[in-house]
Every structure is written in C-alpha cells, then in structure tokens.
Amino acid sequence: MRYRTLGDSGIEVSEISLGSWLTYGSGVERDQTEACTKAAFDAGITLFDTSNIYGQGTAEAAWGEVLPGSRARAMCSRPRSSSR
C-alpha cells in the first residue's frame, strides 16, 4: 500500500480508501461490514470515507461499532457540504 500525507497535517493515510456510501449499516449486514473493514486493514487501508447522511447515519454507526479498537490506525473522512 502507498501512503500520502494529508496536506500540512502530518497525518499519513493510505492512497486508497474504503467508502461506506449506501452500504454499511443499511445494505450490508454488520458481520460483512466487519469482515470488509478487517480486510481493508489487512491490505493496509487506513482511510475510511463516511458521512452522517450515508444510510441516514447508519454507515457511521456501523463503523462506530467496528472501528473502536482500530482508531489509532484509522482516519475517517467526511465530505464537506458546499453550503458551509
């Protein structure tokens, strides 16, 4: 896996991310969510894309259950609203 630094933050993340749009928490069961997330970690993925609107917040809730033991190794990103 290749990694990049996020701007001037000094935080290094994988070039590939795992997204949760219309999947985790609504279309994909928890055991499958956990298996996919573990496979992503095993592949070196450390960037996870989610939003509080994905699955009406269920995607974030699902990763909230799956990621707690991995927070030191993971970075979650959220899209920024253009209305802000």
The residues annotated with a catalytic role in the active site are 54
Q: How far apart are CA 13 and CA 29, in angstroms?
A: 26
Count how many Cα atoms sit within 13 Å of the Cα of residue 23 in the half-sphere of its side chain.
Answer: 14
Residue type, 81: S
What are the tokens at 49? 């894309």
